[in-house]
Amino acid sequence: MTRKSVAMLVASLRKESINLKLARAVERYAPQTLRFDYVRMDDMPYYNGDLEGQRPESVRRFTDSIRAADGVCCVTPEYNRSIPALLKNAIDWGSKPPAENVWKDKVLAMTGASPGGIGTAVAQQHLRQILAIQGCIVMPGETYISFKTPDMIQPDGSIADEAVREFIAAFGARLAALIERMA
């Protein structure tokens, strides 16, 4: 069986990030037909068109990783009703130059966790707007987690609550199905 590769983008820099825990849960409960590769975003400079002639190695590594993946899973917190600058910067680098846009026709699923009642719904809506103009194939539906207790998802991604576990597993299954359908 050939596993489909998924570039995992975790848009939080915190060591104990609830979004990193969520990413690990997605990986743990997704179908075995998927392989998740965590792609680093924190070492790229801010997007600057003056650097296009000689892109930094960190940017080339990032764009090559996205280009090579069968799909992308973006796990993002919500900062001020939007996405973190870290993620926006990565999207900007990946979209330039327009003829080499790594997001065009790329399958992408998004999710996120927040201690707030609406999870990351507004950030995901904003992310959809950004990715739509890049030509990304965004998985429909909202998938966010309201982290009501700090131990809801363990650091290894395990989830004790069966309903939450099934919700995350269904997200992974939908991603696998969309990647397969679009292949």
Task: Give percent of the chain with pLDDT exceeding 70.
Answer: 99
Q: Domain 4-182: give its CATH code.
A: 3.40.50.360
pLDDT in tens, 79-128: 999 999 999 999 999 999 999 999 999 999 999 999 887 889 999 999 99
> Which region, left, alpha or beta, applies to residue 28 given φ > 0 means left and ψ of -120 to 50 means alpha?
alpha
76: number of Cβ within 10 Å: 28
- Rounded to two decimals, the pTM is 0.96
Cis check: omega of the bond before 56, within 30 degrees of 0:
no
